[in-house]
Amino acid sequence: MALKSGPVPVPADIPLRARVQSVLDALRPLIQWDGGDVDLIDVTPAGVVSVRLRGACVGCPSSQATLRLGIEKNLREKVPEITQVISIEDAA
């Protein structure tokens, strides 16, 4: 699934975490359309974003594609400080 959102204005004067959350909020309807969801866990000063995929994304063979080609690609385009996006798994 290709996750494309429309242009999301994320001015640089807004805190980094808020800008990341704004992009995730724009992507969320597309992810939810497929039965999944994404939660923002953390954003480090080095630009590493931790997210938790939920719902149908858990265990889905396409979840890594969603993470890399959808979430990470959009975050890097709209928030240039982002260096990496990682998925945090729930503890069993």
| Residue pLDDT, tens place only, 52-71 | 989 888 888 888 888 888 89
Q: What is the pLDDT of residues 33-42, one digit of tens each?
A: 989 899 999 9
Helix (H, G, I), strand (E, B) or coil at 26: helix
Q: Is residue 24 part of a domain?
A: yes
Residue 85 and residue 49 in contact, taking contact as beta carbons nearer than 8 Å: yes
Token pair 């994320």 in the structure block, residue = 10
Q: Is residue 8 part of a domain?
A: no
Distance separating alpha carbons of residues 58 and 76, to the nearest angstrom: 23
Cα 62–Cα 20–Cα 22 angle in degrees, nearest 5: 95
Q: Is residue 49 part of a domain?
A: yes
Q: Is residue 10 part of a domain?
A: no
